[in-house]
Structure 1
Amino acid sequence: MRFKLQTDYALRALVYMAAKQGENCTTDEIAGYFQISAAHLGRVIRRLQNHGYVKAIRGRRGGVRLDRDPESVNLGEVVEVLEEGAQPLDPPTGEPGNGVDDALRLKAVLRRAHGLFVNYLNKVTLAELVAEGLPEPQPAQQPSEESAPAEPQPTVAAEPEVASSPEKTPEPVGAPSAAPGYGRPGSPTYGGY
């Protein structure tokens, strides 16, 4: 399942605010951390505010902050609110026997997979993600990249260099990060969002 860009931004912002533990954050601060559009993030944060996840504080030292306990916010709930009941497939049309039966079976399988996916997200809270650390700052996928399939990148194992001093040898290209954490390859929560 691919999330809408607003859901991606919302999840990033919620994790960031949860990590700040009640401190006021500005939209520009969050957008700058993740290198995403502050204008789009502002609209997403207003939507989160309308659903009771975020509180806006006015004034010179104002900003936004998480308005709920991170332990009580699960990802499935946030995704369902922002994705507005997205379904994996549109209903098939046509005469029975002309491929419609196969499409109905496929739809049932994909709905079940979608349900399992959402059930898993319902078990993951913001508090768990924050315990693993803030996600690495990286730009969000641009809409044009979403429609194009990713090109497979060849993995080339590098020969370790022989060092004359007892320095650490570099990791081979494509090796997973040594420090597991939220948003990093090798992490149980890595989803690439």
Structure 2
Amino acid sequence: MKLTSYTDYSLRVLIFLSLNHERLCTSSEISETYMISRNHLAKIIHQLSRLGLIESYKGASGGIKLAKEPKEINIGLLIKEIESDFNIVDCFIGDRSKSPCRLTPHCKLKSIMNESLSLFIQNLEKYTLEDIVENREELLSLF
């Protein structure tokens, strides 16, 4: 399974905000740091705000910051909220007319893949944003 760039960038935004928790950050600096389109970043910031993970302040001295402590942001739960497609193979779609595989009605591969996906998400649910940024000084040196 490969996560979308949208999910990757969402995680990067949260990492950036966690590393700079003492101040408001701007979308411009995040965009420049990660070389992400500002339009794409605006969509990500909007969704993270809707999910209650970040707070946004408008105006000349505005910016964004985490709305929760990093230890309260679960990576697995976040990915389940953000990732739009967990259909690892076509037969996950549910609508048999959209699955080109003749084996779909009796194939065991679907259940094996489903179990693997569940284990993948369960493993991610063991971690929080705090786990990702525990090496704060090393990460900050990269900016």
TM-score by length of 1: 0.62
CA contact (8 A) 2:91 2:104 kept: no
* Counterpart-to-counterpart distance in 1, 2:61 and 2:103: 61
What does residue 110 of structure 1 align with? 113
Output the CA distance in 1 between the equivalents of 2:133 and 2:37.
Answer: 23
- Larger relative contact order (Cα-Cα within 8 Å, sequence gap ≥ 6): 2
Alpha carbons 1:22, 1:66 under 8 Å: kept: no
Alignment RMSD: 2.1
Aligned to 2:33: 33
- Runs of 5+ unmatched residues, structure 1: 138-193
Query: What runs of 5+ residues in structure 2 fail to find an aligned partner?
Result: none
- For residues 40 and 85 of structure 1, the distance between their equivalents in structure 2, rounded to whole angstroms, comes to 18
Note the alpha carbon deviations across 1:55-102, whole angstroms, 9 max, x for none.
0012222101110110010111110011146232333748xxx53366
Structure 2 distance, partners of 1:99, 1:62, is 55
Higher-helix-fraction structure: 2
How many pairs were matched up?
133
1:100 equivalent to 2:82? Answer no
Secondary structure in structure 1 of the residue aligned to 2:56: strand
How many angstroms does 1:3 deviate by?
1.1
CA distance in 1, matches of 2:46, 2:22: 18
1:15 aligns to what? 15
Correspondence 1:70 to 2:70: yes
Cα distance in 1, alignment partners of residues 58 and 71 from structure 2 = 26
Q: Which has the larger radius of gyration?
A: 1
- Counterpart of 1:171 in structure 2 is none
